[in-house]
Amino acid sequence: MLDEKLLEILVCPRCKGELEHRTAAGEELVCPACRLRYEVRDGIPIMLIDEAKPLDADG
């Protein structure tokens, strides 16, 4: 689980927008504006645009 202070300062590397922290199907950070998901591996957010995955149609 990511630290709350870290979550407050992290932004989308593409648009610099706010991220949603989701833990339902594995921990990830989601940018609703870019419709991208950034995976969190072993407690480390992978904030590389090339590693991001598109958001599914169901959001």
Residue 50 in tokens = 């090339």
Structural domain boundaries in the chain = 4-54
| CA–CA dist 40, 47 (Å, integer) | 9
Residue pLDDT, tens place only, 40-51: 999 999 999 999
pLDDT tens digits, 7-39: 999 999 999 999 999 998 899 999 999 999 999
pTM beyond 0.75: yes
Give the CATH fold of the 4-54 domain.
N-terminal domain of TfIIb (2.20.25)
Q: What is the pLDDT of residue 57?
A: 61
Rounded to a whole number, what is the distance in angstroms from the first to the last CA of the chain?
21
